[in-house]
Chains A and B, each alone.
Chain A
Amino acid sequence: MDYFDILVSILGSTIRLSIPLLFTALAGLFSERAGIFDIGLEGKMLAAAFASACVAYLTGNPWLGLLGGIAVSIVFSLIHGFASITNRGNQIVSGVALNFVAAGLTIVLGQAWFSQGGRTPQLAGEARFSPITLPGVDLMRDVPVLGPLYVNVISGNNILTYLAFAAVPLSWWVLFRTRFGLRLRAVGENPGAVDTAGISVTWLRYRAVIVAGFLCGFAGAYLSIAQSAAFIKDMSAGKGYIALAALIFAKWKPVPVMFACLLFGFLDAFANFMQGKAVPGIGEVPVQIFQAMPYVLTCILLAGFIGIAHPPKAGGVPYTKER
């Protein structure tokens, strides 16, 4: 394999590894811009992955699987909302609790229903989202440089991948061009301003966490019924946390979120590629180094070396009028 082929193959897996990050980070974007910190992204993604796999297995329809994932993820969001918006609880505690619930419940239910050690049964081809070949692939195949990129990186992904990329400008548009977006950003900065403008802070924040649940549903479905063909226990493997890191890295802005997710996906793909390979002059580099990079980069950012990340001002603070 020459270097270009290697690059193309790494870029291909970069895309595949970035998609769950992208959906999840966008979910976090909506929630955190509204002032609700969501450390439970991980759990929502995991629960959605399990639900999608179950529904897709039972119905044989990936779209119904996706719907199932979204529904469960939104239920998790509503619990988070009930704890942190209605009851003004600590958002981090609620999120962490939901992560534990998701991790435990998926295994217990999976074992109880399917007895495969926490796995769900293997899905048949038509019960999954399979790769789509974009038009013009045959024409492009022989074009130098662009051809292989188009054929192997741009084309040949499943529908959720394209939806993820479409969700980026859509999120931007919703946040910055609609009334809902204006209010949502306002409530994350100063809920008092929203309240005194005659808008319900509670309902607005609930809508934001519901959107977050909706997007996490896509992330989960991607894991279990697009990228894989079954739910495997703990399959989210910390992606929810990496998505949070990407969100901070992107300073809570939609388009930078996409680039941060692609960067972190690339690091992951590169780590996979380097596994067992020796770097000339250094020897074999432990993959953990690459896996730690997203967190390292985020720490460097937070330490102020790559500009300053200002989180939404009212983030994490329950809205109360009583002092």
Chain B
Amino acid sequence: MSGFRNKERRRRVSQHPAIELVGIDKSFGTVHANKNINLKVEKGTIHGIIGENGAGKSTLMSILYGFYQADGGEIRIDGKPLTIRDSQAAISAGIGMVHQHFMLVENFTVLENIMLGAEGGQLLAKGVSGARKELKRLETDYGLDVDPDAIIEDLPVGKQQRVEILKALYRSADILILDEPTGVLTPAEADHLFKVLKVLRDQGKTVILITHKLREIMAITDEVSVMRRGEMVATRKTAETTVEELAELMVGRRVLLRVEKGEAKPGKVLMSVKNLTVKDSRGVTMVDDVSFEVREGEIVGIAGVAGNGQSELLEALAGIRKPASGEILLDGKPIAGADPARLRALGLAHIPEDRHHMGLVLKFEEYENAVLGYHRDPRYGRGALLDLKAIRAEAAEKIEKYDIRPPNPRLKTANFSGGNQQKIVVAREIERDPKALIIGQPTRGVDIGAIEFIHRRIVEMRDAGKAILLVSVELDEIRSLSDRILVMFAGKVVGEKTAEAGEQTLGLMMAGIAA
């Protein structure tokens, strides 16, 4: 294999792979997150790791970074066996990691975050000027510019991620692990990130890229490993594989990557939003004078980078947040400021963006979540008492229809995987047969198999004449489902396109560059 690498790229490549994992095993309680994992990552390559949500990717990499301790197995860096007891050991071994959920101190400056743990002396004053200089150098070398004195919480996520990368480079990492780095980026930011990663590789650094976006894997990696349910199922040269093969390896069966849907047949206007302005809890205007309409039988998608007002828009429409001004009409009736119970009664269903905070009570059993918010329905009981038998019977029906696994309405919701949790929410909202449906991030953290299923249900709802508003930060999802696309940037709808609009056009609009 190393002969192949030498031929392909004229660079010093030592005998040993940069990283070798042998028989890594890890359990969290009863969850077997990593089962006897073997992995080799060659020096000076970009190595992709893909797998469905919960496959164990983050766990494996966190073990390599010393954040978790493996229950068994061996880690070899540069051919030498190494015990990585904590992150300090990983850092000394030249490993840096950008975690899926950033590990930044939000009220610190960029500089303070970068220096944390590598201060260069007991007194901060000593290290500061050196750190500034080094930061300047990294900035010019890699095009990673950030203001060292900016406070993290004031920075957009893209910049925060840069700080994470800079943290690793500042500690002179030779091996850089990135855990789902593009989820929070605009397409343009993602492109820039990939350029940086290529520069790093060409300097001889080793990059491990975790993602669930197959397109990214094909575009940038040299090799790719696939994980499924805690196991490492395959490693391929990127040039020798296809998206279809990778998808099948990930899920364990053939999957349809494209959504199949016919022409939309829009009817009358069902939901209309006029000059809506919404402020967040700090009083900052997040939705700024937004107007649009959604007709029966169409899916209107709202594209945008996370944090551009989509969440607040959804909350206002769902009755969770009171709009500052403007009108919302559902089937001609004004509903701005109505509470969620009334909206449900009027036929508006809501699949919230964040199932853990809004859609589900994780400590409840499945059947309890299956009626959450609809528990006043006379079908589920009279007066103060719930008719548990009826509720459980109905929950069992939905489990069957939506193939929720494991099929047990008495299981604690937290013990379902992300995809199945999402199905619980989707089943609850769709099965009420609403007139209009507002959907936030329908497939965030959901595995491909379940994505396919949820997408199909959404299209079926459209074909049944429902008005659907879809908000997602996944541009692919927006493009494949929506009949019309609105792009939000900085609280405003900056333009409307059809699904035919190219990714680049939409990307520029999402970045606020073009309209």
- Residues of A near any B CB (own CB < 8 A): 177-183, 185-186, 189-190, 192-200, 313, 321-323
Q: Mark B108-123, 1 if CB is under 8 A from A, else 0.
A: 1000110111110111
Query: Is the CB–CB distance between B67 and A321 below 8 Å?
Result: yes
**Cβ 8 A contact of A197, one of B29, B118, B122:** B118
Query: Is the CB–CB distance between A182 and B124 below 8 Å?
Result: yes
Query: Is the CB–CB distance between A198 and B86 below 8 Å?
Result: yes
Size bracket of the B interface: 20 to 34
Query: Is the CB–CB distance between B122 and A196 below 8 Å?
Result: no
Instruction: Quote the shortest CB–CB distance from A314 to chain B (angstroms).
Output: 10
Docked Cα-Cα span, A185 to B108, in Å, equals 9
**Cβ 8 A contact of A182, one of B87, B97, B112:** B112
Say yes or no: is B88 at the interface (Cβ < 8 Å to chain A): yes
Docked Cα-Cα span, A180 to B167, in Å, equals 19
B interface majority secondary structure: loop
Query: Is the CB–CB distance between B103 and A190 below 8 Å?
Result: yes
Query: Is the CB–CB distance between A193 and B113 below 8 Å?
Result: yes
Docked Cα-Cα span, A178 to B65, in Å, equals 27
Query: Is the CB–CB distance between B106 and A182 below 8 Å?
Result: no
Query: Is the CB–CB distance between B123 and A199 below 8 Å?
Result: no
Residues of A close to B65: CB separation below 8 A: 196
Docked Cα-Cα span, A196 to B88, in Å, equals 8
Docked Cα-Cα span, A322 to B67, in Å, equals 11
Query: Is the CB–CB distance between B87 and A186 below 8 Å?
Result: no
Query: Is the CB–CB distance between B87 and A197 below 8 Å?
Result: yes
* CB nearest neighbor in A for B68: A321
Query: Is the CB–CB distance between B104 and A198 below 8 Å?
Result: no
Docked Cα-Cα span, A195 to B107, in Å, equals 17
Query: Is the CB–CB distance between B122 and A198 below 8 Å?
Result: no
Docked Cα-Cα span, A198 to B124, in Å, equals 18
Say yes or no: is B28 at the interface (Cβ < 8 Å to chain A): yes
Query: Is the CB–CB distance between B29 and A193 below 8 Å?
Result: no
Query: Is the CB–CB distance between A177 and B113 below 8 Å?
Result: no
Docked Cα-Cα span, A322 to B112, in Å, equals 27
Query: Is the CB–CB distance between A198 and B113 below 8 Å?
Result: no
Q: Say whether, besides A189-B105, A322-B28, A322-B29, A196 and B123 are in contact (CB < 8 Å).
A: no
Q: Say whether, besides A183-B116, A313-B106, A323-B28, A196 and B121 are in contact (CB < 8 Å).
A: no
**Cβ 8 A contact of A193, one of B28, B89, B116:** B116
Say yes or no: is B99 at the interface (Cβ < 8 Å to chain A): yes
**Cβ 8 A contact of A194, one of B117, B121, B124:** B117
* CB nearest neighbor in A for B102: A193
* CB nearest neighbor in B for A310: B107
Residues of A close to B86: CB separation below 8 A: 195, 198, 200
* CB nearest neighbor in A for B101: A192
Query: Is the CB–CB distance between B104 and A180 below 8 Å?
Result: no
Residues of A close to B116: CB separation below 8 A: 182-183, 186, 193-194, 197, 199
Query: Is the CB–CB distance between B117 and A197 below 8 Å?
Result: yes
**Cβ 8 A contact of B88, one of A180, A183, A185, A199:** A199
Instruction: Quote the shortest CB–CB distance from A56 to chain B (angstroms).
Output: 34
